């Protein structure tokens, strides 16, 4: 299917489906382990469920009553089910939340205000303040709701409460007119940073400081001198030269191709390297994966001008450079078609990255491209052969250690990308294996949980991933301390009088015959951790045991009088 195939190029088979949306994401909405599709467009969020083999069922629309602009997925209320957040083109209402049922369907929308007054063309979902609750970052483009139009220079941060609600929105100046954004950890401090692509090939970096706050860095130009008509159409984060440091790739408009900015590891980047092949090189969206299975990351690009192919792939060399592009899906002459938003995921479970791409123009659709590339080429760089956790089960709030093992010694310092699918367990963005080594360890921090939670930790390098499961248990409640201050039996009245204290003032305290376990009665709570009771009892029980609802217990002999 490649229009200019050559050795070790990725190959695909394509299947057209109804358009899922102008933007689209892949996530598992029904818990079957297969990535489904969701998209935004018109007045609804649309979902197509994966049949399990890379084909998809009918599209289902979930109305939000206004034009939708972008969509993101995550578990926003902590019930273990994937939810959707959708941004809306409305000056008063900017975000809708659809809670997932876990079966692939969603409940009615909950709306959140848009204090910015701008439209909201992109949304990201991530835990940006490291509190184990998903947050959202919303990018704003322009306000044309009233004349005259005014461009935005802000993004909005909404910190999640973990129950499907959010704290009040906070606007952050990004010092450029934003067109696209992505999250990463550019200075390797374990705190999420933000990269914002703007107009004139501007790239604005905001380094996270914790608590959902950011510090703005000087804006850089991806093309020397800039280009007034060349905006950043998308932003993606990956390690293209395998030095363990995150880099940035940006597709540029106005025929500028795309630019790679290699990271320095301190939040700064080297000068942009532009990849420009022809005058119609105007990619609108990118998706980074190892498509031809040679161990190096590649860049797939959806082309606004699809004359020479709706999609192009630049196969990486593993050092931040790329081979000549390969074109795919060349349309019929005068078709007026172009490639739009694209994402990569393994839709059919064969461990090869597939692509879902918006097709614009005549016969708009979502094309799913299943990767048919041959056997993986023996990589010149090692892959991840194992991921182990020690221990594999922890109490929430404590830590575990993860260890990645490579298939061969690292030729140079090499980064292994890390991820956790649960907000209850946090891992660094990557761990570095030293040159000549085969292993590296990293710390996994956990949050308190109310019930046992499983977190899947994923380690990825050079196109291979390994997954290990960490079980996070709730903290066991410590038993209270009981003291029996009086245990007295009155023979004449045939009554037992008991007085006791507990370190838990809200305890329920019951008295038993020690020898038989027979319940005598429940002590009255006198407040302040003091309890007492008087019980009619035909014979002296000799010894009694008091048991608390908090697990404590105490025995004592009974004094007769």
Same domain, yes or no: 389 and 469: yes
Domain-embedded: residue 514:
yes
- How crowded is the C-beta side of 400, counted as CA atoms within 13 Å? 26
Same domain, yes or no: 426 and 450: yes
Same domain, yes or no: 388 and 426: yes
Q: How far apart are the first and last CA of the chain?
A: 99
Domain-embedded: residue 424:
yes
Same domain, yes or no: 461 and 486: no
Domain-embedded: residue 512:
yes
Domain-embedded: residue 425:
yes
Residues contacting residue 185 through CB under 8 Å, at least 6 positions apart: 191, 192, 193, 246, 428, 429, 430
- Between CA 225 and CA 234, with CA 229 as vertex, the angle to 5 degrees is 95
Name which of 320, 328, 434 is nearest 371 in CA terms. Answer: 328
Token pair belonging to 404:
């990645």
Are 488 and 561 within 8 A, CB to CB? yes
Name which of 76, 73, 43 is nearest 61 in CA terms. Answer: 43
Domain-embedded: residue 453:
yes
Domain-embedded: residue 417:
yes
Q: Can you tell me the distance from the alpha carbon of 71 to that of 88, in angstroms, rounded to the nearest whole number?
A: 10
* Structural domain containing residue 522: 482-560
Domain-embedded: residue 404:
yes
Are 465 and 510 within 8 A, CB to CB? no
The domain boundary, picked from 440, 473, 506, lies at 473
Residues contacting residue 74 through CB under 8 Å, at least 6 positions apart: 82, 83, 85, 125, 126, 134
Q: Can you tell me the distance from the alpha carbon of 196 to that of 176, in angstroms, rounded to the nearest whole number?
A: 8
Q: Is the backbone peptide bond immediately before 148 cis, with ω within 30 degrees of 0?
A: yes
Q: Can you tell me the distance from the alpha carbon of 333 to that of 103, in angstroms, rounded to the nearest whole number?
A: 43
Q: Is 307 helix (H, G, I), strand (E, B) or coil?
A: helix
Q: What is the DSSP string of 198-239?
A: -STTEEEEEEEEETTEEEEPPPEESSTT--TT--B---EEE-
Token pair belonging to 102:
């876990």
Are 173 and 205 within 8 A, CB to CB? no
Domain-embedded: residue 399:
yes
Q: Is the backbone peptide bond immediately before 316 cis, with ω within 30 degrees of 0?
A: no
R_g of the chain computed on alpha carbons: 30
The domain boundary, picked from 425, 444, 473, lies at 473
pTM above 0.85? no
CATH number at residue 516: 2.60.40.10
Task: Per-residue pLDDT tens, the chain, 561 aa: give them.
Answer: 333 333 468 899 999 999 999 999 999 999 999 999 999 978 899 999 999 999 999 999 999 989 999 999 999 999 999 999 999 999 999 999 999 999 999 999 999 999 999 999 999 999 999 999 999 999 999 999 999 999 999 999 999 999 999 999 999 999 999 999 999 999 999 999 999 999 999 999 999 998 899 999 999 999 887 776 788 999 999 999 888 899 999 998 766 688 999 999 999 999 988 887 655 557 889 999 999 988 889 999 998 877 778 899 999 988 888 888 898 987 777 677 888 899 999 999 999 999 999 999 878 999 999 999 877 655 457 889 999 999 999 999 999 999 999 988 887 788 999 999 999 999 999 999 987 788 999 999 999 988 889 999 999 988 788 999 999 998 877 789 999 999 999 999 999 999 999 999 999 999 999 999 999 999 999 999 999 999 999 999 999 999 998 889 999 999 998
Q: Can you tell me the distance from the alpha carbon of 253 to that of 120, in angstroms, rounded to the nearest whole number?
A: 20
Number of domain units in the chain: 2
E strand segments, 462-529: 464-473, 482-490, 495-502, 509-513, 519-522, 524-527
Token pair belonging to 296:
């190096």
For tokens 């940035």, the residue is: 248
CA distances (Å), origin 352, targets 33, 244, 317, 344, 468: 15, 23, 19, 10, 20
Q: Can you tell me the distance from the alpha carbon of 20 to that of 42, in angstroms, rounded to the nearest whole number?
A: 11
Same domain, yes or no: 488 and 556: yes
Q: How far is CA 265 from the centre of its chain?
A: 22
Secondary structure of 342-407 in the HEC alphabet?
Answer: EEEECCCCCCCCEEEEEEECCCCEEEEEEECCCCCCCCCCCCEEEEEEECCEEECCCEEEEEEEEC
């Amino acid at each position: 299917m490649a229009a200019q195939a050559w050795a070790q190029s990725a190959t695909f088979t394509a299947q057209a489906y109804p358009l899922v949306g102008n933007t689209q994401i892949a996530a598992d909405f029904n818990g079957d382990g297969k990535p489904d599709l969701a998209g935004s467009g018109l007045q609804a969020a649309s979902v197509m469920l994966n049949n399990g083999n890379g084909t998809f069922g009918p599209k289902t629309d979930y109305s939000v009553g206004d034009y939708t602009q972008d969509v993101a997925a995550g578990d926003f209320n902590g019930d273990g089910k994937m939810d959707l957040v959708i941004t809306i083109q409305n000056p008063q209402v900017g975000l809708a939340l659809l809670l997932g049922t876990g079966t692939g369907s969603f409940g009615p929308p909950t709306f959140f205000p848009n204090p910015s007054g701008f439209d909201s063309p992109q949304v990201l979902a991530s835990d940006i303040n490291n509190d184990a609750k998903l947050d959202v970052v919303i990018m704003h483009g322009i306000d044309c709701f009233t004349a005259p139009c005014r461009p935005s220079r802000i993004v909005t941060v909404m910190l999640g409460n973990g129950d499907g609600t959010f704290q009040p929105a906070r606007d952050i100046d990004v010092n450029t007119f934003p067109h696209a954004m992505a999250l990463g950890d550019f200075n390797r401090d374990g705190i999420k940073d933000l990269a914002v692509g703007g107009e004139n090939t501007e790239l604005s970096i905001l380094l996270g400081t914790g608590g959902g706050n950011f510090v703005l860095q000087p804006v850089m130009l991806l093309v020397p001198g800039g280009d007034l008509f060349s905006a950043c159409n998308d932003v993606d984060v990956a390690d293209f030269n395998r030095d363990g440091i995150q880099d940035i790739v940006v597709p540029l408009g106005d025929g500028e191709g795309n630019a790679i900015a290699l990271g320095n590891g301190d939040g700064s980047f080297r000068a942009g390297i532009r990849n420009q092949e022809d005058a119609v090189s105007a990619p609108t969206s990118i998706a980074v994966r190892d498509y031809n299975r040679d161990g190096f990351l590649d860049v797939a690009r959806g082309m606004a001008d699809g004359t020479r192919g709706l999609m192009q792939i630049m196969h990486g060399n593993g050092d931040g450079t790329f081979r000549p592009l390969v074109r795919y899906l060349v349309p019929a002459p005068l078709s007026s078609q172009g490639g739009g938003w694209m994402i990569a995921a393994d839709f059919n479970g064969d461990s090869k990255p597939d692509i879902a791409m918006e097709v614009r123009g005549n016969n708009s659709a979502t094309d799913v491209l299943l990767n048919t590339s041959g056997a993986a080429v023996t990589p010149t760089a090692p892959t991840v052969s194992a991921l182990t956790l020690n221990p594999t089960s922890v109490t929430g709030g404590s830590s575990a250690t993860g260890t990645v093992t490579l298939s061969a010694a690292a030729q140079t310092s090499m980064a292994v990308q890390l991820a956790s699918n649960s907000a209850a367990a946090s891992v660094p963005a990557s761990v570095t294996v030293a040159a000549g080594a085969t292993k590296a360890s990293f710390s996994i921090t956990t949050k308190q949980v109310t019930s046992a939670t499983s977190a899947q930790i994923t380690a990825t390098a050079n196109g291979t991933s390994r997954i290990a499961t960490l079980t996070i248990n709730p903290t066991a409640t410590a038993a209270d301390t009981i003291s029996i201050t009086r245990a007295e039996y009155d023979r004449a009245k045939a009554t037992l009088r008991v007085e006791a204290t507990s370190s838990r003032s809200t305890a329920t305290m019951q008295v038993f015959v020690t020898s038989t376990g027979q319940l005598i009665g429940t002590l009255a709570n006198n407040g302040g951790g003091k309890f007492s009771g008087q019980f009619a009892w035909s014979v002296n029980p000799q010894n009694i045991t008091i048991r608390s609802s908090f697990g404590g217990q105490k025995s004592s002999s009974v004094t007769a009088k």
